[in-house]
């Protein structure tokens, strides 16, 4: 390793860093690699070769191939038991490749998505994840830790503090900044950098993001600060050519911008996605050739739109504001292409007086007709309000926001935002889960404020009523209440419960959240067969069918008419007992009998 302390080195010189390890790997392998960090074990020669290419290009700071090598990220590939081996070998590959005058930076990437929260009861769990990875990197002898590509400043500060508590080692804290120059948690770039410094960052950084020009503007906005600055931009916007992702910047352009970075005060200059050894070589040569005269680092004032967070009631809640007992009916899209029974059932509940229909999003991870497409047909045939369920399981963050925008232009009034049941199908459907229900609520709030999650203006505001689910069935639902509180704090404005069957449980739950300030729709499900009751009670998470209804249904198992009537009568008795004490009803149709709800709607509105 280099004899001079890395912080001392930067007092006199600009430190050239390497470029994009992940994109280099994908350009050199014959088949795409899902977990590039696993190559530390399966193909260490390739990793050493890439490090060597960057060193030969002039890089003196080499990052380990450990960006996603924490327990949570590796779990996606069933490699969570290999955290120590992957990180240790990542350091060894770098150390075996470097020259004596080079430094090794242990790379730590985000450990959860920007939308997720680190709350008090989780801090020990997340601290263990960072400590596990950072501990190996430090033990193996890295010169510096770089926590990089964090969009959420709270997450980055948490990681920074955790590493600093672990060892006395320099840390680069590097944020991802988009075109709005605002972090995910709504800090402008100058404020974000100052926050990192106050938390103990030895070097503050900008990396990846949306190209080189944005990094240059961000440096101008930051001005002079008390610690060195690191910049590692990506190579602009990529395009797909065949099976390859291609970045189009020229070496000359990157070299020119590297010189601009240095004149703006950057002391570490390297690259992220798409930056190759030839780009680094060009930048290194340009910086050696030119005498760097630093510009006076006054801050460039760039007008930022004032950040406001409006928690809207939304169209649906406004439409039922004066209704004594609003009723939502869940009638899901069918799994088969004959949709006539479901459309007829929706028309029937509308005629009966229901105030909205809701539609699940492939419930229990079973394929059904797309609920957004089905809702479009419903809107064509009736003027009833539609509440769409949206899960984080099937779509990434791009798809989720596109779905919400599509729902808006179709006139959808409400969204029920749920994490979703994971798929366990052996044929291979992936569970995406970029965000959970809280992240979905935040995305909805952003769009209701006229921006997407990158802070880009959407041209107009959506006007969704944002709802979430809760399950009060268990004896102790304290954890459920804490999570519900977080959903409401994120912007949820109504709640729909799992099916409840006990009026005492309904009262207990409503009393427990009466201070939460949201409308609560109590789930009612008419159990119309003994087989269904036993299946739901024993095999479906979150549903508890009381023994008395199961016993009643068991008396005449083969009498279908008795079974249906028994379930409906039980639901009516429950509605009678709770109707005067609740905000609203959420009637859930059996999948095979969507037409049953119209009679319950009529009954409920007369109670």
Of 8-17, 46-55, 300-309, the poorest mean pLDDT is in 300-309
Confidence (pLDDT) at 185: 77
> In the 8-state DSSP scheme, what is residue 558?
T
Whether residue 238 contacts residue 207, with contact meaning beta carbons closer than 8 Å, is answered with no
The SS3 of residue 235 is coil
Token pair 């008395």 is found at 548
Tokens coding 429: 């459907």
Q: What is the pLDDT of residues 96-127, one digit of tens each?
A: 999 999 999 999 999 987 777 787 667 899 99
Q: Given pLDDT bands bounded at 50, 70 and 90, which one contains residue 299?
A: low
Compute CA distances 107 → 146, 266, 344, whole Å: 5, 19, 57
Q: What is the pLDDT of residues 406-441, one digit of tens each?
A: 999 999 999 999 999 888 776 778 888 888 899 899
Q: What is the pLDDT of residues 523-582, one digit of tens each?
A: 999 998 898 889 888 887 677 888 888 999 889 888 989 999 999 999 999 999 999 999
Whether residue 83 contacts residue 132, with contact meaning beta carbons closer than 8 Å, is answered with yes
Q: What structural domains does the chain harbor?
A: 6-289 (3.20.20.330), 314-606 (3.20.20.220)
Average pLDDT, integer, range 443-447: 94
HSE toward the beta carbon, residue 101, CA cutoff 13 A: 9
pLDDT at residue 321 greater than cutoff 60: yes
Angle at 157 between CA 153 and CA 162, to 5 degrees: 150
C-alpha R_g of the chain? 28
Confidence (pLDDT) at 242: 52
Q: How far is residue 542 CA from its own chain's centroid?
A: 23
The SS3 of residue 474 is coil
Q: What is the pLDDT of residues 454-502, one digit of tens each?
A: 778 899 999 999 999 999 987 788 888 989 998 999 899 999 999 999 9
pLDDT at residue 590 greater than cutoff 80: yes
Q: What's the CA gap between 266 and 231, in Å, rounded? A: 7
Tokens coding 520: 């609560």
Whether residue 395 contacts residue 455, with contact meaning beta carbons closer than 8 Å, is answered with no
Of 236-240, 383-387, 437-441, 536-540, the poorest mean pLDDT is in 236-240
- Which element (helix H / strand E) includes 574? helix 560-578
Per-residue HEC secondary structure of 321-341 comes to CCCCCCEEEECCCCCCCCCHH
Helix/strand number for the chain, H first, E second: 23, 18
Percent of the chain with pLDDT over 90: 67
The SS3 of residue 241 is strand
Of 301-310, 365-374, 378-387, the poorest mean pLDDT is in 301-310
Q: How far is residue 151 CA from its own chain's centroid?
A: 11
Whether residue 498 contacts residue 474, with contact meaning beta carbons closer than 8 Å, is answered with no
Query: If we measure between CA atoms, which residue out of 367, 356, 364, 365 comes closest to residue 333?
Result: 367
Of 3-7, 11-15, 74-78, 271-275, the poorest mean pLDDT is in 3-7
Q: What's the pTM?
A: 0.71
What is the DSSP code string of 463-502? -PEEEEEE---SS--HHHHHHHHHHHHHT--EEEEEE---
Helices (H), 336-454: 340-352, 371-381, 397-409, 437-448
pLDDT at residue 151 greater than cutoff 60: yes
**Treating both helix axes as pointing N-terminal to C-terminal, what angle do 189-198 and 153-166 enclose, rounded to 10 degrees?**
20
Q: What's the CA gap between 258 and 286, in Å, rounded? A: 8
Whether residue 181 contacts residue 152, with contact meaning beta carbons closer than 8 Å, is answered with no
What is the DSSP code string of 257-324? HHHHHHHTTEEEE---TT--HHHHHHHHHHHHHSPP-PPP-PPP----PPP------HHHHHHTTT-S
**Treating both helix axes as pointing N-terminal to C-terminal, what angle do 44-56 and 21-28 enclose, rounded to 10 degrees?**
120
Tokens coding 582: 């609740």
Q: What is the pLDDT of residues 162-196, one digit of tens each?
A: 999 999 999 999 999 877 788 877 788 999 999 99
Whether residue 362 contacts residue 391, with contact meaning beta carbons closer than 8 Å, is answered with yes
Q: What's the CA gap between 299 and 41, in Å, rounded? A: 45
Tokens coding 221: 């906005």
Q: What's the CA gap between 32 and 25, in Å, rounded? A: 9
Compute CA distances 335 → 338, 365, 391, whole Å: 9, 12, 17
């Amino acid at each position: 390793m280099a004899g001079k302390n890395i912080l001392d080195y930067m007092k006199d010189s600009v430190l050239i860093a390497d470029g994009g390890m992940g994109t280099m790997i994908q350009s050199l392998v014959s088949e795409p690699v899902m977990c590039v960090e696993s190559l530390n074990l399966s193909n260490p020669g390739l990793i050493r070769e890439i490090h060597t290419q960057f060193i030969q290009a002039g890089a003196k700071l080499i990052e380990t191939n450990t960006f996603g090598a924490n327990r949570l990220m590796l779990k996606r590939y069933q490699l969570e038991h290999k955290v120590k081996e992957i990180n240790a070998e990542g350091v060894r590959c770098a150390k075996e490749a470097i020259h004596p005058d080079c430094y090794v930076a242990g790379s730590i990437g985000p450990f959860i998505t920007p939308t997720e929260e680190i709350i008090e009861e989780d801090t020990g769990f997340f601290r263990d994840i960072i400590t596990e990875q950072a501990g190996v990197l430090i033990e193996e002898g890295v010169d510096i830790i770089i926590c990089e590509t964090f969009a959420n400043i709270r997450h980055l500060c948490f990681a920074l503090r955790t590493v600093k508590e672990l060892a006395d080692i320099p840390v680069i804290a590097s944020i991802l900044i988009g075109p709005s120059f605002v972090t995910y948690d709504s800090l402008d770039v100058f404020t974000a950098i100052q926050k990192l410094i106050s938390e103990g960052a030895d070097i503050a950084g900008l990396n990846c993001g949306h190209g080189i020009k944005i990094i240059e503007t961000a440096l101008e906005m930051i001005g002079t600060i008390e610690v060195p600055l690191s910049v590692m931009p990506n190579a602009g916007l990529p395009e797909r050519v065949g099976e390859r992702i291609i970045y189009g910047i020229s070496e000359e352009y990157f070299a020119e911008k590297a010189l601009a970075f240095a004149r703006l005060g950057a002391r570490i200059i390297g690259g992220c996605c798409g930056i190759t050894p030839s780009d680094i070589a060009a930048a290194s040569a340009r910086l050696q050739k030119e005498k760097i005269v630093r510009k006076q680092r006054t801050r460039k004032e760039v007008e930022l739109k004032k950040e406001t967070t409006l928690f809207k009631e939304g169209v649906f809640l406004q439409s039922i504001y004066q209704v004594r007992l609003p009723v939502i009916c869940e009638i899901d899209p069918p799994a088969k292409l004959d949709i006539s029974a479901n459309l007829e059932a929706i028309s029937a509940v509308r005629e009966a007086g229901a105030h909205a229909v809701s539609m699940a999003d492939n419930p229990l991870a079973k394929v059904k007709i797309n609920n957004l497409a089905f809702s479009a047909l419903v809107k064509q045939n009736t003027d009833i309000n539609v509440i769409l369920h949206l899960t984080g399981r099937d779509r990434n963050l791009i798809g989720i926001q596109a779905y919400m925008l599509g729902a808006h232009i179709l006139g959808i009034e409400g969204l029920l935002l749920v994490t979703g049941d994971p798929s366990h199908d052996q044929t291979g459907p992936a569970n995406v889960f970029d965000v959970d229900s809280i992240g979905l609520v935040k995305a909805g709030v952003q769009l209701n404020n006229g921006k997407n999650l990158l802070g880009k203006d959407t041209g107009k505001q959506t006007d969704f009523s944002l709802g979430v689910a809760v399950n009060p069935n268990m004896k102790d639902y304290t954890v459920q209440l804490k999570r519900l509180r977080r959903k409401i704090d994120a912007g949820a404005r109504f709640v729909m419960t799992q099916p409840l069957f006990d009026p005492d449980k309904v009262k207990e739950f409503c009393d427990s959240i009466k201070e939460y300030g949201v409308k609560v729709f109590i789930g009612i499900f008419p159990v119309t067969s003994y087989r269904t009751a036993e299946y739901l009670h024993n095999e479906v998470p979150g549903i508890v069918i009381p023994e008395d209804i199961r016993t009643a249904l068991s008396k005449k198992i083969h009498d279908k008419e008795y079974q249906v009537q028994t379930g409906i009568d039980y639901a009516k008795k429950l509605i009678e007992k709770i109707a005067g004490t609740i905000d609203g009803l959420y009637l859930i149709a059996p999948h095979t009998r969507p037409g049953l709800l119209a009679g319950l709607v009529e009954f409920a509105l007369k109670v």
